[in-house]
Amino acid sequence: MQPLRGRRILLGITAGIAAYKAAELARLLIKDGAQVRVVMTPSAGEFIGPLTLQAITGEVVRDSLFDPAHEAAMGHIELARWAELVLVAPATADFLANAAAGAAHDLLTTLCLASTAPLLAAPAMNQAMWRHPATRANAQTLQARGVELLGPDDGEQACGDSGPGRMLEPAAIHARVREFFADGRLTGRRVVLTAGPTREALDPVRFLGNRSSGKMGFAIAEALVAQGADVTLVAGPVALATPAGVRRIDVDSAQDMHAAVFAAVRDADIFIACAAVADYRPATVAAQKLKKGDSETLRVDLVRNPDILSDVAALAQRPFCVGFAAETHDVAAYAEGKLRAKGLDMIAANQVGVSQGFEADDNALLVIWPGGSVALPSQSKRQLASGLVELIVERFDAQTAAEDPR
Q: What is the C-alpha separation between 14 and 80, in angstroms, rounded?
A: 17
Q: Which of 389, 362, 358 is nearest to 378 (CA)?
A: 362
SS3 state of residue 112: helix
Helix, strand, coil abundance in the chain, percent, nearest 5: 35, 25, 40
* Orientation of helix 170-182 relative to helix 21-31, angle to 10°: 40
Q: Are 135 and 164 in contact (CB under 8 A)?
A: no
Catalytic annotation, pick one of 112, 159, 274, 321: 159
SS3 state of residue 40: strand
Residues 6+ apart with CB under 8 A from 138: 93, 96, 97, 99, 100
- What are 194's strand-pairing partners? 234, 273
SS3 state of residue 225: helix
Residue 139: other Cβ atoms inside 10 A: 21
* Orientation of helix 107-114 relative to helix 75-82, angle to 10°: 50
Q: Which of 208, 123, 137 is nearest to 173 (CA)?
A: 123
> How far from 350 is each of 16, 61, 330, 335, CA to CA, in Å?
52, 40, 10, 9
Q: Are strands 230-235 and 246-250 parallel, antiparallel or unpaired?
A: parallel
Q: Are 166 and 17 in contact (CB under 8 A)?
A: no
SS3 state of residue 62: strand
159 catalytic residue (yes or no): yes
Q: Which amino acid is at 334?
A: Y
Phi and psi at 182, nearest 5°, equal: -70, -15
- Tell me the catalytic residues: 159
